[in-house]
A and B are shown apart, each in its own frame.
Chain A
Amino acid sequence: MPAVTTMPALDPQESAARRRAWWPARRTVLAYGLLAPAFAAVVFLIAYPLYLALAVSFREGRTMNLARLDRLPVGWGNYARVFDDPALWSAFARSAVYVGGAIVPAFVIGLLLALLLNRVFPGRRWLRSVMMLPWAVPGVVVSIAFLWLFDGSYGVVNSLLRRVGVLDEGIAWFARQDTAMLAVVVPTVWKAFPFFALTALAAMQAIPLALYEAARIDGAGALAQHRYVTWPGIRGPMLLALILNALWALKELDIVYVTTGGGPAGATETLALRIYFEAFQYFRLGSASALGLMLMVLCAVLVLLALPRLRQRFF
């Protein structure tokens, strides 16, 4: 019952009066009543499904008939199988390459763009909007656009590379073992950099101009100003953006699924893709859930790394 107190900003006398009368009860009802739909959504559509995934992860074997799912034997078999499978570790390695390969360039591009957009110039508002657009483009649309750009026969990228003399013959970027990973990383960078740019830009605009002035008076050049004023001001938010974007890339399915489907010969089969195939191609819902929960633990480790900063933001 005493879970509800009034806003800290309220006049203490007034809140004391409220606590005495029938007010608090009513406010409690209202406070929780307004939260109830969200609570129901979270319980039925996030908490219960998570519990179900955990329960299913202990069901060994495969079935296409969901009604028979609870007749499958119970045990640690899925986890043992998943850990013994060398394919897991190569999927893990591919995920690491995919996430690192996409997030690091996206970070650098985002940071440089933010430095550019932080200047005052005519047309800035529109150019900024236009540059940030890739963030909003659906993953599937990104995928088909890049499939076409990097097409082996008629792709414009091959044509341009031939024209400047880098290539003699066109490359089927998404279909070759040695280029497929690069080919799925590029659209991922394209979709990921605006988030870094927006984060950096927002943080830069919150840095007081007086700091730059003080630095100038102390004789700091442009580079030194970036090093000692801009960077300390944006470091925190950028670290958080790095974690959030890494989480996103780790879970990302759309781009890899649509462009290569994990191929050729598994060259781009990341953890997220592997989970999906286990579940909906081989109908091993148990081991797919086990894998999925492990991916979630991996995400949790990333979050724990950034916890001090997240605590500031979210708690």
Chain B
Amino acid sequence: MQRSPVGTTVLATLIAAFILFPVYWMVVTSLLPTDIVLSRDPPLLPPLSAISLQAYADVFERKPLLTWLVNTLFVTLGSVAVALVISTLAGYSLSRFRTRGQQTAGFVLLLSKMLPPTLIVIPFFIMFTSFGLIDSLFGLMLANAAVGVPFASWLMKGFFDGIPYELEQAAMIDGCSELGAMRRIAVPLCRPGIAASAVYLGIVAWADFVFARTLVSQPANWVLTVGLQSFVGEHSVDWAMLMAAGSLSLIPVVILFLLLEPFLVSGMTHGAVAN
């Protein structure tokens, strides 16, 4: 049963088109004027002459989309930076030294997989209220960083395991301290791993909704996901505007994912599990 490679390409392209239809339809809707969008039988291929960016202009004008974008960027970049530093250090320690940390790390990772976000957000809400971190983007950033640390540390341990310790030993023989060997040899060699972890953490933080919906209430502190959800509660949803905002929020995700995807297949072969 040998099928021709080109036949497989055609089949795979058709399937990919079917899979991506929801995203395609979101983008198409955002680019069409309302009278075409709100019809009982919309055309599957948009008439090219009708395409306009009006919905994008509208959503920036009538909704604080720019504020949401800036807030989301702040929370995402901040939580990625914090979680990345913490988990690079932890990953190095887990990979190079045998400590009690190693025995606990697997357990903590499992625990974090079992922890429902709807449960952990309750004590977060109580704690953040008493520390005055409620309704603050900084608090939101901390919450996102915290849930990312266990998995990112595990990921980083895997990457450091792939770098031979002999390289650092050689540097130490040449007079480098252990910390210096880590900083000068292991961490630079591990750059692809650090990038992959950052992308993973970024995708997760960008998507967060439970924390953002609960720990922040002031509209000035809303992030994209909360803003998008607020459209749905309205009496009549402005679909073109909503799809425009949704498409914009997808751009960084698509870019990051296309960077991460090749690693996902090879990374999983080496035993890391990302979910």
Contact = CB atoms under 8 A, between A and B. Distances in A.
Max chain B Cβ within 10 angstroms of own Cβ: one of A45, A56, A244, A273: A45
B256 A136 contact: yes
Interface in A128-147: 128-147
Contacts, number: 330
Contacts of B21: 149
Contacts of A41: 86, 145-146, 149
Q: Is the interface of A mostly helix, strand, loop or mixed?
A: helix
Interface of B: 1, 3, 5-6, 8-9, 11-13, 15-16, 19-23, 25-26, 29, 37-42, 44, 85-87, 89-90, 92-94, 96-101, 103, 106, 108-127, 129-130, 142-143, 145-147, 149-150, 153-154, 165, 169, 178-179, 203, 206-207, 209-210, 214, 224-225, 228-229, 231-232, 237, 239, 242-243, 246, 249-250, 253-254, 256-258, 260-262, 264-266, 268-269, 271, 273-275
Nearest to A247: B113
Nearest to A254: B209
A16 interface: no
Contacts of A206: 269
A272 B8 contact: no
16 contacts: A37-B86, A37-B89, A49-B124, A52-B126, A121-B8, A131-B19, A135-B257, A139-B207, A141-B249, A144-B246, A195-B274, A275-B119, A280-B214, A288-B122, A303-B114, A315-B103
A198 B178 contact: no
A140 B110 CA distance: 25
A128 B261 contact: yes
A194 to B, nearest CB: 9
B198 to A, nearest CB: 14
Contacts of B253: 136-138, 141
A281 B248 CA distance: 31
Nearest to A109: B19
A144 B123 contact: no
Contact of A127 (B9, B124, B129, B232): B9
A245 interface: yes
